Structure 1
Amino acid sequence: MKKIIPLFIIAILFSCQNTAQVNSKQQAVINAEPIEVPLKNGKARAYFASGCFWCVEAIYESVKGVEESISGYSGGYTDNPTYAASNTGNTGHAEAVEIIYDPKIVSFETLVNVYFESQNVTQVNGQGNDRGSQYRSIIFYQNETQKLIILKKKEALAKELGVKIAAEVYPFQKFWVAEDYHQNYEKLHPNNGYIRNVSIPRLNRFKAKFPKELLKEHHY
């Protein structure tokens, strides 16, 4: 279960902006050329970080055209990150999801809309009580077309809401699949306290405001 970090630690995280995000290794990741993942069996892949991957996995799997959502780590500078290492905030990675989708049914732009509609867009380094750089919001682009879609949406949202949008925009480099026990976590552990009190309510808030015609009748 995710833990609530004491307020004094949260203050430190916000004041320091976490060294994992500002060191030279992290800057090299941010400045890198994006890597484009080719279609496989007609399916494309997209990558997002938006707080706890247990929550995000279920949200994307509720969208038509999404075949699968895989939990993992991305955005950092260390190889073979683990859940324990990621939680230290010293890997540069964030909890992320790999979305396998049919581009004939759902567009990358719609997936970006799902991203922003399913989170607190102003929260820096986390979502809800999940705080730290490992829970920060990142959208990964694989080419300039995707980058433009993300930046236009982010700019329009900032103007519409009159706020600063916290999501960072990174060139995609590599996605590391998380440990087996993290996969399909909401489906396999529906009675877990975090799932009942955080993940499912977040999913339901998203589904209540997203166009119904874009959602599956059942997402499992």
Structure 2
Amino acid sequence: MKHILSVLAVTLLFSCQNSAQSSNSAQQAVINAKPVQVPMENGKAKAYFASGCFWCVEEIYESLKGVDEVISGYSGGHTKNPTYADSNTGRTGHAESVEVIYDPNVISFATLVDVYFGSQNPTQVNGQGNDIGSQYRSIIFYQNEKQKEIILKKKAALEKKLGEKVAAEVYPFQKFWRAEDYHQNYVVNHPNNPYVRNVSIPRLNRFKAKFPQLLKDKFK
């Protein structure tokens, strides 16, 4: 797993342990559920995304003007109170996800979706890079029909541009489970971690090169 990657594992794969997700009726119920609308607090809204390792995704969204905070956690599954170990089995239905707390007067949900698609390999199924497994799959969550429409239109436009299927699943948001404390702000707190140096930071830098106009000054 990421927090105990050996030097050998990093050298060979820069990868995380994973296994396949088993489909079941409980997971299908999550996919078919009515979305939960998260209320705004102090003028700030929340959005939820899964796009591979949450260490990487957290730092990407933290770099954006208008984003106050990003929290790593788990979403999209059918079990309660998932842990990192639970998620890594691939049997809970959850994916490593982030909660993005943002000011909609500064950055829109539509722009957050653009960032989502523009900061990953959009055609890779069940993972990003060498992080393979259902816990690393791409999911974009909607809280209402307007958000769903935005997501589906942007996904369709990207598929037309690429000429191939975009892998991201589109789920009604249900619940976000905060990850263990040691996962929060991981890139900042562990800059010399081999995975961070070889995977997280390069992914962040690729994103920054594509979206310089969206960056906070300290990330430029």
TM-score for both structures, normalised by structure 2: 0.91
User: 1:62 deviation in Å?
Assistant: 0.6
1:217 is aligned to: 217
2:172 is aligned to: 171
- The residue correspondences of 1:146-185 to structure 2 (distance < 5 A) are 146-185=147-186
Structure 2, unaligned runs of 5 or more: 14-18
Q: Secondary structure at the match of 1:218?
A: helix
Q: Residue deviations 1:33-60, cap 9 Å, x none?
A: 0000000010000000000000000000
Q: Residue deviations 1:178-216, cap 9 Å, x none?
A: 000000000000010000000000000001011x22111
Give, in whole Å, the separation in 2 of the partners of 1:113 and 1:19.
27
2:69 is aligned to: 68
Q: Residue deviations 1:116-136, cap 9 Å, x none?
A: 000000100000010000000
TM-score for both structures, normalised by structure 1: 0.91
- The residue correspondences of 1:9-28 to structure 2 (distance < 5 A) are 18-20=20-22, 22-28=23-29
Give, in whole Å, the separation in 2 of the partners of 1:188 and 1:57.
13
Give, in whole Å, the separation in 2 of the partners of 1:213 and 1:178.
30
Give the conservation status (yes or no) of the 8 Å contact 1:61–1:219: no
2:118 is aligned to: 117
Q: Residue deviations 1:83-109, cap 9 Å, x none?
A: 001000010000000000000000000
Q: How many residues align?
A: 210
1:89 is aligned to: 90
Give, in whole Å, the separation in 1 of the partners of 2:183 and 2:213.
29
1:10 is aligned to: none
Q: Secondary structure at the match of 1:104?
A: coil
| One-letter amino acid of the structure 1 residue matched with residue 92 of structure 2 | T
User: 1:19 deviation in Å?
Assistant: 4.2
Q: Residue deviations 1:6-65, cap 9 Å, x none?
A: 99xxxxx7xxxx443x31111000000000000001000000000000000000011100
Structure 2 CA distance for partners of 1:85 and 1:171, relative to 1, 3 Å:
same
Give the conservation status (yes or no) of the 8 Å contact 2:47–2:100: yes
Give the conservation status (yes or no) of the 8 Å contact 2:21–2:92: no
Root-mean-square deviation (Å): 2.0
| One-letter amino acid of the structure 2 residue matched with residue 217 of structure 1 | D
Structure 1 segments, 4+ long, off by >2 Å, are 1-4
Structure 2 CA distance for partners of 1:186 and 1:19, relative to 1, 3 Å:
closer
Give, in whole Å, the separation in 1 of the partners of 2:69 and 2:203.
19
1:132 is aligned to: 133
Give, in whole Å, the separation in 2 of the partners of 1:154 and 1:104.
24
Structure 2 CA distance for partners of 1:209 and 1:76, relative to 1, 3 Å:
same
- Identity among equivalent positions (%) equals 75
Structure 1, unaligned runs of 5 or more: 8-12
